[in-house]
Chain A
Amino acid sequence: DIQLTQSPSFLSASVGDRVTITCRASQGISSILAWYQQKSGKAPKLLIYAASTLQSGVPSRFSGSGSGTEFTLTISSLQPEDFATYYCQQLNSFPLTFGGGTKVEIK
């Protein structure tokens, strides 16, 4: 199974900060990775697919990069509505796996 390790697991930041979350895969997955945002009590929301393509309707302050085994999700200027938990998911091979999540909280 492909393990995804997200770091950090918890992040405290202020509105306007630039935030970067890393997702490392235990083996190469090309660019077959997605990023999701989940707010408390809600379903996940797709932000980025194919490692770097912004989902329609998602603000441009979100961006993704990477390929192979190392990926990043960047929020260029954190907004109040961005405080949530973020997950990466590899869809390269079964079983599909998620990272452990990164909770972004207000400093």
Chain B
Amino acid sequence: EVQLAESGGGLVQPGGSLRLSCATSGFTFSDHYIDWVRQAPGKGLEWVSRTRNKTKGYTTEYAASVKGRFTISRDASENSLYLQMNSLKTEDTAVYYCARVRWAQGSSSCDYWGQGTLVTVSS
């Protein structure tokens, strides 16, 4: 069974740092791209970052709103994904989801999601 589970959320002051983790199981971690997606309270979904698979050299992409502040990474030995968040702003307050990316029919989509972890940036 494919599973993803986020952890590491919490309350942090503006300018602070936090590292989110996403533990995965039930699939070959190195074969899949994985995304981070966030949702501010009462708002819609916002794509944050992507890490590609081993074949693609684990290359990464970021939304402009987080580029230079957030870093996505993997630990293949732990089948885990991370999101290092630095220089946090109040507008980064959101539930953060990790999601497995699946390619089919020439299109990608997020077919499995974690339950999310809440990050609150406030003084």
Interface residues of A (CB under 8 A from B): 31-34, 36, 38, 42-46, 49-51, 53, 55, 87, 89, 91, 94-101
B100-123 vs A: 1/0 string, CB under 8 Å? 001011111111011110000000
| Extra inter-chain contacts (6) besides given A49-B111, A98-B45, CB under 8 Å | A43-B113, A55-B111, A87-B45, A95-B47, A95-B61, A99-B44
Determine the main DSSP class of B at the interface with A.
strand
Interface residues of B (CB under 8 A from A): 35, 37, 44-47, 50, 61, 63-64, 97, 99, 102, 104-111, 113-116
- Whether the pair B97, A31 counts as a contact (CB closer than 8 A) is no
- Whether the pair A96, B50 counts as a contact (CB closer than 8 A) is yes
A–B complex contacts, Cβ < 8 Å, 22 sampled: A32-B107, A33-B107, A36-B45, A42-B115, A43-B97, A43-B113, A43-B115, A44-B97, A44-B113, A46-B109, A49-B107, A49-B109, A50-B109, A51-B107, A87-B45, A89-B109, A94-B61, A96-B50, A98-B44, A98-B47, A101-B44, A101-B45
